[in-house]
A = this chain, B = another copy of it.
Amino acid sequence: MTIAPEQDRLNAQIAFAIEIDKLKRVIRRNNLMDDSRRENDAEHSWYVALLAMVLGEHAPPGTDIQRVVAMLLVHDLVEIDAGDTFIYDPVAVAAQEAAEKAAADRIFAMLPAPQGQELRALWDEFEERATPEAVFAKALDRFAPILANHHNEGGTWRLHAVTASQVMQKVKIIEEGSPSLGAYARELVELSVTRGHLAP
C-alpha cells in the first residue's frame, strides 16, 4: 500500500462518517421498551454496546469487553445496504448472508487502510462467532430483543406469531455466551408463556 496523505485519510473517514448515519434509518422488528415505536439499528447498537459494559461480568472470565463493545458498535453497519432481517424468518436469514458480505465489502472499504480491514475483521469475527468476544456479543444481540418483547407483553412475538420453542433457539445462543444471562432469558420466556404473551 501507499501511505495516503493525512488529509486524504481524514476525508475518507468523514465520507464514512456521513455514510454510516444511514444506520439510524434502518428499522428493526422489535419496539422500544415503552412500545411507542419500532427500534432502529443505530440506537440498538448503542444499547447493546452499553449492555456489554454493564453486563460484562456475566461473560466468561478473560473476555475482552472493550473488544465486545467495539464489535457491537459495527455489527449492524452492513444493514445499511442489506436491511434488517427478521431472525424468525429462516428463508430471509439464508438470503441475507450474501447481501451482508457485499455490504461489508463496500462500506468498510470506504475507510483508509488498514483501518477498513481492521473494522471488517471485527465484523467477520462477530458473524463467525469464532472467539469468546464474538460469542458474548452475539448473546447480547439476542438478549436485548427478548428483554424488550418480555417488557412489551409479547411485542413482536405476538405480532408475528412466534412461539416459545423458536425463542428458545435464541436463548441457546445467549447461554453459549453467558450461562447466567441465558438462565435469565429462559426465565423471561417461561414467564411470558405463563402470562399468555407468548405461544408455547
A residues lining the B interface (CB < 8 Å):
6, 9-10, 13-14, 16-18, 20-25, 32-34, 36, 39-40, 42-43, 45-47, 49-51, 53-55, 57-58, 66, 69-70, 73-74, 111, 115, 119, 147-148, 151, 180-181, 184
Contacts and interface: CB of A to CB of B under 8 A. Distances in A.
A115 to B, nearest CB: 7
Contacts of A6: 180
Given A10-B181, A69-B69, A69-B70, 4 more contacts: A17-B51, A20-B47, A24-B43, A54-B111
A50 B21 contact: no
A33 B18 contact: yes
B111 A13 contact: no
A55 B13 contact: yes
Contact of A58 (B10, B39, B58, B148): B10
A60 to B, nearest CB: 15
Given A16-B54, A55-B13, A21 B115 contact: no
A69 B73 contact: yes
A34 B39 CA distance: 18
Given A46-B45, A53-B73, A184-B10, A21 B32 contact: yes
Contacts of A36: 25
A147 B17 contact: yes
Contacts of A49: 46, 49, 73
A115 B115 CA distance: 32
Contacts of A147: 14, 17-18
A200 to B, nearest CB: 24
A65 B58 CA distance: 24
Nearest to A122: B53
Given A53-B70, A54-B115, A147-B14, A47 B21 contact: yes
B21 A25 contact: no
